[in-house]
């Protein structure tokens, strides 16, 4: 059977799920165990680093190094801490915790610093894997994690989980489709999710030929984006509409936190604090949901309808210096938007590229004149429309920029 990595197409599936109280308990136990093991690995890693740095040939130090090195795997860790042998804990969850630590370690090699401890939080999370013992062909319905029908998934140790969403399209697939890493999470708004990585040699989506050819998009702050055809997608400002309410509820939350502290109560035992915490978390979740849906719809439409989509590389480093723009940028989520365009381009077999934002706004698309030279004044954010001093063409700033971005993209491909 082919491994996930060897398969051609990959697909992420995230479903809301509705565990029973008993299942919630099991998810918590596994999440706690994963965090414990991860943190234990962090502690061992830190101690080893210090011991090795001093380079003492003393036996006690060398013994300790040997001991710690040995404990860096799931089996040894379970021997050392008896509670990890609890049969409700998924052994793959333990293995994944260790693997995640190693991944973090490898990622941190490139950047100075070592993996940090994971704090206890209202979020739960653990990972397991789907395995296919004795199977010749991997399907969504014959692994250790498997779909029983559209709304039920069997997960090791947890049992049958009810899930939302429409997986019917995926379940109809006859070709080999493998489930890889499976993640169970609870967010701070107490919603549970089941996510899985899928892989296959056949595409996960049907991608009919695109209706339109190429398109350039200019991301800006006046509107969400303007494309090279002159279409404008206005900015959704969910956060701004909900901000007043959020501020008010957050104030109540911190008041309750202060009171609990004054009366020497633990926050976890303070009922009113917890009620309010959940309310605030739900408000945040609502904004995030709306934004996510918006970005999904726009990015899918762009990719589905065009062979080539060109956008600017983000220059948020410079732009975030400007505080007035900072809120808008984090608000609209351009970075996740570009990420979506990239993976959807793969999914639908389209092309998505980014180009340098240099002069895309300042250049006249008609004659190539660049504003700011020959004594002309550079356009500012306030200039929504302008006229080229060289050829006299009248421009809408963002539309002109989008056309330049598309040209740059085509030039880059040529
Ligand atoms: Zn011109």
Task: Give dist(CA 8, CA 178) in Å, integer.
Answer: 11
Q: What is the pLDDT of residue 115?
A: 81
Nearest to 8 by CA among 347, 353, 243: 347
Residue 133 binned pLDDT confidence (cut-offs 50, 70, 90): very high
Neighbours of 182 (CB within 10 A): 24
241/239 Cα distance (integer angstroms):
6
Which residue out of 40, 90, 227, 312 is catalytically annotated? 312
- In the predicted model, what is the mean pLDDT of residues 192-210? 88
391 alpha carbon – ligand 1 mean position (Å): 4
Give 301: exposed, middle or buried? Use CB within 10 Å, 0-12, 13-18, 19+: exposed
pLDDT at 332 over 70: no
Are the C-beta atoms of 405 and 360 separated by less than 8 Å? yes
Q: What is the pLDDT of residue 308?
A: 95
In contact, 400 and 364? CB cutoff 8 Å: yes
Between the CA of 373 and the centroid of ligand 1 the distance, in Å, is 13
Q: What share of the chain is helix, strand, coil (3-state, %, to 5)?
A: 45, 20, 35
Cβ–Cβ under 8 Å, residues 164 and 18: yes
Task: Please give the share of the chain, as a percent, with pLDDT higher than 90.
Answer: 56
Lowest mean pLDDT among 89-98, 209-218, 252-261, 267-276: 209-218
What span, in angstroms and rounded, lies between the C-alpha atoms of 12 and 320?
31
Residues with CB under 5 A from ligand 1 (ion): 364, 366-367, 369, 388, 390-391, 393
CA of 394 to the centre of ligand 1 (A): 8
Strands 351-355 and 306-312: parallel
Rounded to the nearest 10 degrees, what angle do helices 271-305 and 334-348 cross at?
50
Confidence of residue 182 (pLDDT cuts 50, 70, 90): very high
Give the pLDDT score at 346.
87
Distance 366 CA to ligand 1 centre (A): 5
Cα-to-centroid distance, 33 and ligand 1 (Å): 64
Pairwise CA distance, residues 340 & 140, whole Å: 24
Look at residue 167 and give its three-state secondary structure.
Answer: coil
Q: How far is the CA of 111 from the centre of ligand 1 (A)?
A: 45
For 154: left if phi > 0, alpha if psi spans -120 to 50, otherwise beta; the answer is beta
Contact 153, 147 (CB under 8 A): yes
pLDDT in tens, 333-352: 788 899 999 999 988 889 99
pLDDT digits (tens, 9 = 90+) for 228-277: 999 999 887 776 778 788 889 999 999 999 999 999 999 888 999 999 99
Confidence of residue 111 (pLDDT cuts 50, 70, 90): low
Average pLDDT in the chain: 88
Active site residue 312: yes
Q: Which of 40, 227, 331, 398 is catalytic?
A: 398
Whether 70 has a pLDDT exceeding 90, the answer reads no
The band of 172, judged by pLDDT with boundaries at 50, 70 and 90, is: confident
Q: What is the pLDDT of residues 276-292, one digit of tens each?
A: 999 999 998 888 888 88
373 compared with 128, residue with greater pLDDT? 128
Judge contact between 66 and 58, C-beta under 8 A. no
Q: What is the per-residue DSSP string for 109-155?
A: HHSSS-PPPPPP-S-EEEEEE---TT-SS--TTSSSSEEEETTEEEE
Among residues 90, 218, 331, 407, the one annotated as catalytic is 218
What does the alpha-carbon distance between residue 300 and residue 75 come to, in Å, rounded to a whole number? 45
Residue 323 has pLDDT above 60, yes or no: no
Residue 328 has a pLDDT of 52
CA of 395 to the centre of ligand 1 (A): 9
Q: Which of 5-19, 169-183, 239-253, 344-358 has the lowest mean pLDDT?
A: 239-253
pLDDT exceeds cutoff 70 at 112: no
263 part of the active site: no
Q: Which has the closest alpha carbon to 352: 399, 412, 276?
A: 412
């Amino acid at each position: 059977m082919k491994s996930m990595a060897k398969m051609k197409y990959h697909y992420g599936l995230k479903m809301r799920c509705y565990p029973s109280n008993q299942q919630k308990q099991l998810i918590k136990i596994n999440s706690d165990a994963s965090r414990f093991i991860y943190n234990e690995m962090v502690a061992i890693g830190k101690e080893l680093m210090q011991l090795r740095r001093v380079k003492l040939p003393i036996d006690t130090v060398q013994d300790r190094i040997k001991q710690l090195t040995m404990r860096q795997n799931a089996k040894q860790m379970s021997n050392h801490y008896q509670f990890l042998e609890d049969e409700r804990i998924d052994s793959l969850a333990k293995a994944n915790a260790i693997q995640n630590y190693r991944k973090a370690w490898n990622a941190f090699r490139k950047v100075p610093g070592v993996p940090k401890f994971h704090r206890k939080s209202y979020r739960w999370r653990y990972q397991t894997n789907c395995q296919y013992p004795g199977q010749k062909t991997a399907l969504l319905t014959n692994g250790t994690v498997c779909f029983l029908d559209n709304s039920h998934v069997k997960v090791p140790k947890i049992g049958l989980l009810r899930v939302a969403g429409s997986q019917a399209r995926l379940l109809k697939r006859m070709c080999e489709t493998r489930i890889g890493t499976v993640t169970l999470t609870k967010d701070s708004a107490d919603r549970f999710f089941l996510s899985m990585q899928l892989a296959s040699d056949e595409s996960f989506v049907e991608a009919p030929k695109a209706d339109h050819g190429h398109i350039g998009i200019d991301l800006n702050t006046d509107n969400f984006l303007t494309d090279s055809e002159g279409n404008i997608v206005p900015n959704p400002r969910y956060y701004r509409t909900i901000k007043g309410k959020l501020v008010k509820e957050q104030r109540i939350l911190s008041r309750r936190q202060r009171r609990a502290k004054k009366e020497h109560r633990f926050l976890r035992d303070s009922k009113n604090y917890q009620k309010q915490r959940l309310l605030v978390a739900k408000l945040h979740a609502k904004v995030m949901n709306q934004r996510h849906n918006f970005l999904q719809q726009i990015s899918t439409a762009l990719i589905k309808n065009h062979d080539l989509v060109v956008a600017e590389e983000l220059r948020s480093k410079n732009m975030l210096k400007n505080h007035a723009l900072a809120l808008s940028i984090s608000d609209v989520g351009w970075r996740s938007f570009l990420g979506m365009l990239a993976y959807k381009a793969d999914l639908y077999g389209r092309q998505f590229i980014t180009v340098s934002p240099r002069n895309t706004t300042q250049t006249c698309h008609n004659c190539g004149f660049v504003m700011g030279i020959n004594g002309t004044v550079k356009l500012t954010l306030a200039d929504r429309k302008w006229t080229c001093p060289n050829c006299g063409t009248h421009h809408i700033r963002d539309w002109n920029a989008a056309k330049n971005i598309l040209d740059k993209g085509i030039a880059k491909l040529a």
